[in-house]
Every structure is written in structure tokens, then in C-alpha cells.
Structure 1
Amino acid sequence: MQESTIVSWLSQMDVPEDAFRYVVADIFKCARDMVNGVYKNQRDLSIRVVLSVTRASEDETDDDDDDNHEEEDGDEENNGLIPAAKSCIEELEVVKVEKVEECAICLNDVIIGVAMPCLSHTFHMKCIRRWLNRGNSCPLCRIQLPTRTSK
């Protein structure tokens, strides 16, 4: 099997492009382990790959709605928090977690997540986007990101 074939399938399944290399690497590692292990003498290998693509819904990523909501409700609704700059949220790097961690926001395992600028904490993209659209700090260490109002 060639990498281009797997990438083509991932594209058709709407897997984010920045996750391709991690998924392809895991598939090839699994195949290598099978060939070098108990399936060493078999000509055909069967691999089942199960992917779960999680995306934020339009309601969760529509910043215009968040801005309008904040204006209507004032600081009481957002507890005085200031959202992170949209550019900072978009620049967060997608990473493969070496040792499976728990997302501190939703408490589910993170395998491919988003690294915060503090470089110590990783979250699901959906979770951290929602968080940063409300406040501009890392949920765990509170390192601050630029805000929508800062220059």
C-alpha cells in the first residue's frame, strides 16, 4: 500500500490535512508490527482502521455569534473574561500526543490534539476553541494569550 492511497482516502473522509501524517504513520507502524510479529509468514494482511473525526459545529466556531452574545449579556455572562485573539486560536499547532493524556476540559483521552503556547498542555481542538472564545488563558496553567482587544 502506498502513502498516497491512504492520503486520498483520508481526504475523502474529511480528515483534517494536518492529521494525515500521524494517521499514515500509525497505519504503517501497525503493518510493520504485524509483518514482524505473528503474521510474519502471511502473504495478505487485513487491517481495520477506525477513525473518529471530531469537528466543532458552526455554532461553536461562529465568532460573530459569540461577540453578539457577549454584547447583549455584558460581563456578567462571561465573568469578565476576554476572548483570545482569533489569530492565536487559528495558529494553535495540531500534535500527536506521545503518551495518551486526558483533555482537562472534557476529560476524554487526547491522541491528536492541540498544543497550547505553554507547551505543557494539550486539548481537543473543539474543547480549546470553545474555551479560548470565552477567555484568553490556558485552562490549567493560566498562561495568557493575546486578546481580541489587545494590539
Structure 2
Amino acid sequence: SRADDDARARALDGAIEALGKRSTFSDGARAIERAARARDEGDARVSVALARAGRRVATTLKSRYGDARAEAWDVGVRAIEACRDAVGGSDREALVAALATLAETREATATAPREDETAPKTKTKTKDETMDENVDGVVNEALRLILAARRRSLESLVDGLERDFDESEGSRAAASTVSVEALRYRKPRDDEVGMKCSICFDCYATDEVVVAMPCSASHVFHERCVKEWLARDDSCPLCRSSLPVWLGRPQYS
């Protein structure tokens, strides 16, 4: 039902926010996985939110959990897989690529040498053993450098995928003050009262101010919601059409 879809969308917002803290990352990832597996295929809003959630999980794993053996990777990868299965088109392709990159990162980390903490440390070393240790140290250092280079390459690949995905959705630059001031601010029309804002999912009230975006569909949002969005992205939050370059410019008036 619509009420269930709205509840899932709100739960997703909370889960995405939880990814920002190590203490709540796993809980947030599990909540995203549950929402993805329970998604109603007819709700496009939840699908968009799931694509964003899956991408956020992948970015957080890459940037904050360098050791791919950490528990966070298990729950995080499951969440991304669930989001991948719940979305389609370019959203699905982006998550498939992110999963492939994370899998390579985990494989590289798994092959990294680990210190044997249980090895006896009081044994007197012979000359031959000391020479062997020196050789092992050189080999281990070479492996470490190789793995570090591979990791940097993988991170560059993921960064490129994220940039491509972001560009396909819209610009990541903040909207100019002139453009924001030139938007159409008005009260909701009679047929819009009671409809939900696609950003906060709250209904429009008669005494609130809304903004009609200059996109082909003239999508409408709460003033406060769309201003927060435009502070980091100069596109329509729903269709991702970029704001016209002439918006608010006197030479185009």
C-alpha cells in the first residue's frame, strides 16, 4: 500500500543516515537490505532511494573500512546485493560494477600477509633463520607495495564509476544563489494540497510555500526541502534535469 511505501522510504532515509557512524553502520546496512527485499515494484520513489542507498553503502565500505575482512563488509555487501536485485537500468548496472570492484578489493586484502601472533618470540635465531627472515621481509614488503598499488587502482575505478553515475543523474555542483532566488515560489494549488513532497514525503499544506522546478514536468517540492537539495546539487531532485544556465540572469530576462 502507499502507506507501507511511505514508511519504507522514511526507514531508508534513517538507514542511510546510520551508515555514517561505525557504531550504527551494520544496523543501517541491515535495514537497507530488509527494505530492498520488501520493495513494491510499483513504487519508483523507493527504487530511486534504494539505488542511492546501495551506492552509499559501497562508498562507505571503500572509504571507511580498509580491512575487507571486517564484519561491516559482510552486511554491507548483502545490502548492496539486495539493492541491485531491487532496481533496474543504469542503477542496477552501477551497483553491479560497485560489487565487482568490492569483490576485487576483498580478494586483494585476503591475500595480504598477516603477522602470526601465536609464533614463539623467545627462540634464539640461527644465522640461517635470520637470513631467511630478511628475505621474507623483502618479499612481504614487495607484496605490500603491490597490494597497495592495486588498491589505489581499484579505488580510482570506483571513484570513476561513482562520477559517471552521478553525472548520469545530474550535476553535483551546488546551484547558484541567483538561480535559487529566481525559482517559482508559490502556495500549493488546490489539486496539490494533500500530495506528498518527493523529498520529505510530507503532505503539502495550504499555508506552506512550494517551488515549481523549471524542468519539463514542473515538479513541485517544499521550499525548505528543495533549497537543502540545491545547496549541493543544481538539478531537479526527481527527474535530475539541471537548472537552466540562464535562470535568474538579467541578460536573459
Query: TM-score with structure 2 length normalisation?
Result: 0.26
Q: 1 or 2 for the larger relative contact order (CA 8 Å, sep ≥6)?
A: 1
Higher fraction of strand? 1
Radius of gyration: which is bigger?
A: 2
Query: TM-score with structure 1 length normalisation?
Result: 0.41
